[in-house]
Structures are given as C-alpha cells and as structure tokens.
C-alpha cells in the first residue's frame, strides 16, 4: 500500500511533524508486521526521526545545520542561491524506514517523524508513504 500527501511549509527552514499522517497510512493498510518508508520528494527537503517532547530540538536541528553548512559560500549558489539547502537535504537524507509492530508504527515513546524544509516556504511538498508487509 502506498499513499502520498502534500505539505505546506511557512518558513525557509523548519521541521514539521508528520507522524499522524504516517500513522494513518499504516492503520489504513491493515498490515500487522512490516516496514513503512517515508520519502520526501524534493532536493531541498528531508525526513528526520527526532524527539517531539517540545519544539526546542526541532529549532536546534535548524541551528546546528546552519552552523555546519553556512549560506552563500557554495559553488551552486551561483546557480540559484540555495546550495546550503541541497547540502542539508543530502546529508539528512529524504528517506526513513520504520518498523510496523502489531499493526502500529514502531517508534519509541519520544520518536516522531519530521519533514525537514530547507528552502521554503513552499505550497506543495510531496511526501510518499509506502507500507511493505514482512
């Protein structure tokens, strides 16, 4: 089973919690044991599993990546000025695979699934969720 949805992002760089969207696809699939892959279609976006106890870690992710990968110093910036966004997306990666255990998304208590926007805001960020039975 596979479902796509789109996300609207309202900042240049931010993390958006999509755990409930992924959980719904898993529930709809009826699969009891397997994996679900979450994929961000976009070369300046990514998927990260991260804590969601409060918003602080999500902002820390943005700040960490801004320190590691500064803006405006890349060869690609001569093309369209978003070299840092591509590098952040490539390093974090567009895909995560999460186990499905007893019909539920197999995250731990504090793990949530986040869409990482690195070159927003954008109106239509597609995410593809695929469920595979084990």
Interface residues with its own copies (CB under 8 A) are 1-2, 4, 33-35, 37, 39, 41-43, 48-51, 53-54, 56-57, 59-61, 63-64, 68-69, 74-76, 78-79, 83, 86-87, 89-99, 101, 106-108, 110-111, 126, 128, 130-134
Q: What distance in Å separates the CA atoms of residue 3 and residue 76, rounded to the nearest whole number?
A: 33
| 117 close to 125: Cβ distance less than 8 angstroms | yes
Taking the least distance from each CB to its own copies, the nearer of 10 and 32 is 32
Taking the least distance from each CB to its own copies, the nearer of 7 and 69 is 69
Least Å distance, CB 22 to its own copies, is: 13
Taking the least distance from each CB to its own copies, the nearer of 20 and 33 is 33
Q: Which residue has the tokens 């926007």?
A: 117
DSSP 104-126: EE---TTEEEEEEESS--EEEEE
Least Å distance, CB 10 to its own copies, is: 20
Least Å distance, CB 102 to its own copies, is: 10
Backbone angles phi, psi at 87, to 5 degrees: -65, -40
Nearest to 127 by CA among 66, 39, 24: 39
Least Å distance, CB 106 to its own copies, is: 6
Q: What distance in Å separates the CA atoms of residue 56 and residue 96, rounded to the nearest whole number?
A: 22
Taking the least distance from each CB to its own copies, the nearer of 18 and 131 is 131
């Amino acid at each position: 089973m596979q479902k796509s949805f789109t996300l609207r992002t309202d900042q240049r760089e931010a993390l958006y919690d999509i755990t409930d969207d992924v959980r719904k696809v898993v529930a709809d699939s009826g699969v009891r044991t397997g994996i679900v892959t979450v994929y961000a279609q976009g070369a300046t976006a990514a998927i990260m599993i991260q804590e969601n106890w409060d918003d602080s870690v999500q902002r820390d992710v943005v700040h960490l990546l801004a320190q590691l990968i500064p803006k405006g110093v890349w060869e690609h910036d001569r093309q369209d000025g978003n070299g840092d966004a591509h590098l952040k997306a490539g390093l974090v990666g567009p895909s995560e695979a999460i186990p499905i255990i007893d019909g539920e998304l197999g995250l731990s208590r504090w793990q949530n699934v986040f869409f990482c926007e690195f070159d927003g805001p954008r109106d239509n960020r597609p995410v593809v969720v695929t469920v595979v039975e084990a």
